[in-house]
Copies of this chain bind each other. A is one copy, B any other.
Amino acid sequence: MARKNKYVYLFANGKADGKGTWKTLLGGKGAGLAEMTNLGVPVPAGFTITTDVCTEFYRNKQKYPAALKKQVEDALAKVEKAMEMKFGDPEKPLLVSVRSGARQSMPGMMETVLNVGLTTQTIPGMIARSNNERFVYDAYRRLIMMYADVVMEKAAGIEPEEDRGIRQQLEHELEKMKTAKGCKLDTDLSADDLKKLCVIFKKKVKKILGKPFPDDPMEQLWGGISAVFLSWNGKRAISYRKIEGIPDDWGTAVNVQSMVFGNTGKRSGTGVAFTRNPATGEHAFFGEYLMNAQGEDVVAGIRTPQPINKKQKGSSKLLSLEEEMPRIYKQLVQIQKKLERHFRDMQDLEFTIQDGKLWMLQTRVGKRNGTAAVRMAVEMAKERLITQKEALLRVAPHQLDELLDPMVDPAAEKKAKVLAKGLPAGPGGARGQVVFTADDAEAWAKKGKKVILVRNETSPEDVHGMHAAEAILTAKGGMTSHAALVARGWGKCCIVGCGALDINLKKREFSVGKKVIRQGDWITLNGTKGLVYTGKLNLHSADPEKNVHYKTLMQWADKTRKLGVRTNAESPADAALARTFGAEGIGLCRTEHMFFGPERIKAIREMIIAEDEAGRRQAVMKLLPFQKKDFMGILKAMEGCPVTIRTLDPPLHEFVTLDKKQTRELARDLGISTRKLETRIAQLHELNPMLGHRGCRLGITYPEVTEMQARAIFEAAADLTRKGHKVYPEVMIPLVGSPTELANQRAIVEKVAQEVTLKKGKFPYMIGTMIEVPRACVVADRIAESAEFFSFGTNDLTQTTFGFSRDDIGSFLPEYLDRKILPADPFQTLDQSGVGELVAMGVKKGRSTRKNLKIGICGEHGGDPASVEFCHRVGLNYVSCSPYRVPIARLAAAQAALR
């Protein structure tokens, strides 16, 4: 049981204080270790210091709770007993690792120190026990390097320039030694070389950091623990949390665990594995390992790792673990099966083989890209590992983006020559200009450029640039490298281990054979196949319907959800596309987009310039045939589904932004003086157009516009109905704030409907309104008297509720997000506590008048999963979003119904 003031949780001897569900307290890693221990899986003994300590630490001026020291010491004693070794003991020295472990995995974002406990006192004992002096000094030089970097440099408050940190300087010494000895690989250095290197390292550390490398094991241990806690608030971790939306107050746990070594010789090794393929979702054990190596070597992507089994090996010449150590492989397969069955989800495992013995160091739910997430969810449900409901909840709606993301056009690909081939770490297609640093990637992207970040390997310092880039391409690293891991999390196109690339960072170029690609050159990646092309190849949208798992999942979603999903579309093509994505109607058709054709814009300008109603009416009626044709097309494309058409909304001056020449021409066309035209245009200028003469205010002052639009809609509907088509137009009046406004516009629309019915016969229609100013929510009960439906325009409603102009928030919103004045951009995710309260009020009041009032949302929030869940909760009938977001909304709606 978790207890108050219990800060340290032991796992040892097949028994743990904690368990797998206590991630909040123990972090993901700690909970996994505890659970594995309880399951009888071989786990090196250790203990977890809870996230509470982290929280306390930051709350209390970076001091630990008083009780911690004793608890750590007690736990350490029990670990010593379990492992039959002693920390700092000259004879049987115990070494430990100190690792972070937050509630949610933040790969590489926090610090780790390995081999803690190696001192001049314990080295002889280690050598005696391992009978491998080279291994011990290699471990020692690793400890010094890591500790100097992670603990000492940070503690000294030194912020070195790039490439001038202690780590780089020690690495430089390592390279010097290798050169001096004529070695290529680290492993070529002898025990003696390494022993000397350790001496050099320690001198360097003292000189640069002004303090000797500590020779006391407990000092090393506490240094490591503090380094991990401090790294929770390191730059990288903070920026990662911001991207992933992880709260700052979660804190991290610290795991102190007995070291096992994958680098003690040829019967040792270390690896990473997934119970299913995280890139494709295929149900096949998948992983990579390196013989005679420590764990960091696999993830860092410096050496190319070996495949875990024959199936995965493919054409690779590298030996697989299955071939190299069949007994260990068999044991590993059993363990992975047990763990997946136990945790009922794909597991991401870390293991080490020390001298022929398998140790499990980690199990956690594995990250996966969207394609894999969908496949795993569906297949696990079919295997009855999970239920259909669970399957629906397993896929984050935004992961579907990837399935809808563009692919390289196969036709274009057929003609193009492949420049290089790498590992397909993130599927989809992308094209962009080559950049070589994360900072460049971010800077170029800010200027609106599309870039592809090309690196030898990526590290946590690169995360901001990786996020900004269209895709990531690395020369080194495998499917479990940092780049692959991060790209997978974001569903980003990524190719790793593309060994043909020879990168010259200084010159900002890379070459493949004789071909040189410079910064700013365009390349195209096929992340699904791992292919790199020069130049810009065509991309085209994916057809998710071809994906059988996606189709199954979406069928389950449609059965489950209560919310309808419509789309925002202005053209028959968009409407048709949205239908293939599952849209059940149009929630917002903006008619003003149809006013910009050359013939049309002239008529609308004529209308704007006209001096009286007669002139306006004459001009506006010229638009009738165009609009009618538009509506015919859209209604037909959405046959059988409702189509909500909004009457003219934007301020009129948007139609008359003209330069001098255009002004002269328009004046001539209209037969008025340029001066007069300029005066009229100047009159249309508004100080705050967002709050000006627009929406139904136009329809009220210029009733002929509403009348023309209603006529176009109804004539189209009547003609189609007569021909046997099933069409359901819904006329939507924008920006209504008072019941009288809607009543005024409704009367006009109704009158036209009657006239058209008399002339052309009956057709179905509804009249409703957009709710997009706060007042409309407040008086929704009275507005509902004239409305058969409401559609919340949450873009404008957000603007008016906050008093934020979407066009002008750039000057303060970034700071608002940085300083956490706001938790998120309210234009991306519906502000539930403010705007949402008004929406809820509008729904309640609207239905108090008209019980069966149909209510939807047509702001951009309609495609945001959190907002969709909100819409479900307040009882909306449907959400409407852009075509590409329709599948996301469908899944989000299903999840909302399940939660």
Contacts and interface: CB of A to CB of B under 8 A. Distances in A.
Which size class do A's interface residues fall under?
35 or more
Contacts of A837: 778-779
A671 interface: no
B808 A803 contact: no
A596 interface: no
A496 B802 CA distance: 54
A700 B819 contact: yes
A774 B815 CA distance: 22
A691 B691 contact: yes
A761 interface: no
Interface in A486-519: none
A775 interface: yes
A808 B773 CA distance: 17
Given A701-B812, A775-B802, A691 B690 contact: yes
Given A801-B773, A803-B735, A805-B692, A811 B701 contact: yes
Contacts of A796: 803
Given A700-B821, A812-B700, A834-B778, A805 B688 contact: yes
A853 B282 CA distance: 62
A40 interface: no
A295 B662 CA distance: 67
Contacts of A735: 803
A190 interface: no
Given A779-B833, A800-B803, A803-B737, A808 B774 contact: no
Interface string A672-712: 00000000000000111111110101001100000000000
Contacts of A816: 697, 700
B741 A693 contact: no
Contacts of A686: 805, 807-808, 811
A740 interface: yes
A311 to B, nearest CB: 53
A454 to B, nearest CB: 34
Nearest to A692: B808
A170 to B, nearest CB: 36
A546 B587 CA distance: 67
B799 A691 contact: yes
Contact of A808 (B693, B779, B799, B812): B693
A442 interface: no
Contacts of A773: 801-803
A835 B808 CA distance: 25
A740 B820 contact: yes
A816 B837 CA distance: 29
A730 interface: no
A802 B687 contact: no
B688 A808 contact: yes
Given A802-B775, A819-B700, A807 B738 contact: no
Contacts of A815: 700-701
A307 to B, nearest CB: 51
Interface in A791-836: 796, 799-805, 807-809, 811-812, 815-816, 819-822, 831, 833-835
Contacts of A864: none
A889 to B, nearest CB: 25
Given A773-B801, A834-B737, A808 B689 contact: yes
Given A740-B822, A778-B837, A821-B741, A803 B701 contact: no
A555 interface: no
Contacts of A737: 801-803, 834
A744 interface: yes
A806 to B, nearest CB: 8
A838 interface: yes
Nearest to A810: B693
A697 B774 CA distance: 21
Contacts of A822: 738, 740
A772 interface: yes
A695 B812 CA distance: 11
Contacts of A701: 811-812, 815
B691 A804 contact: yes
A697 to B, nearest CB: 5
A688 B772 contact: no
B808 A687 contact: yes
Contacts of A800: 774, 800-801, 803
Contacts of A799: 691
Contacts of A804: 691
A779 B836 CA distance: 11
Given A811-B693, A838-B774, A687 B805 contact: yes
A116 B778 CA distance: 54
Contact of A778 (B695, B808, B809, B833): B833
A735 B738 CA distance: 24
A778 B805 CA distance: 19
A831 B686 CA distance: 24
Nearest to A812: B697
Q: Which of A686, A693, A775, A799 counts the most chain B CB atoms within 10 A?
A: A775
Contact of A835 (B691, B775, B801, B820): B775
Interface in A78-111: none
A428 B217 CA distance: 95
B803 A772 contact: yes
B775 A692 contact: no
A801 B774 contact: yes
Interface centre among A686, A744, A807, A835 (most CB of B within 10 A): A686
Contacts of A741: 821
Nearest to A814: B701
A779 B821 contact: no
Contacts of A805: 686-692
Interface string A824-856: 000000010111011000000000000000000
A840 to B, nearest CB: 10
Contacts of A687: 689-690, 805, 807-808
Interface in A738-779: 738, 740-741, 744, 772-775, 778-779
Nearest to A808: B692
Contacts of A688: 688-691, 805, 807-808
6 contacts: A686-B805, A691-B804, A695-B803, A700-B821, A740-B820, A779-B833
Counting from the closest, the 3 A-B pairs by CB-CB distance are A691-B805, A688-B805, A692-B808
Given A688-B690, A744-B821, 12 more contacts: A686-B807, A686-B808, A687-B690, A692-B805, A695-B803, A700-B819, A701-B815, A737-B803, A738-B821, A775-B801, A775-B834, A778-B838
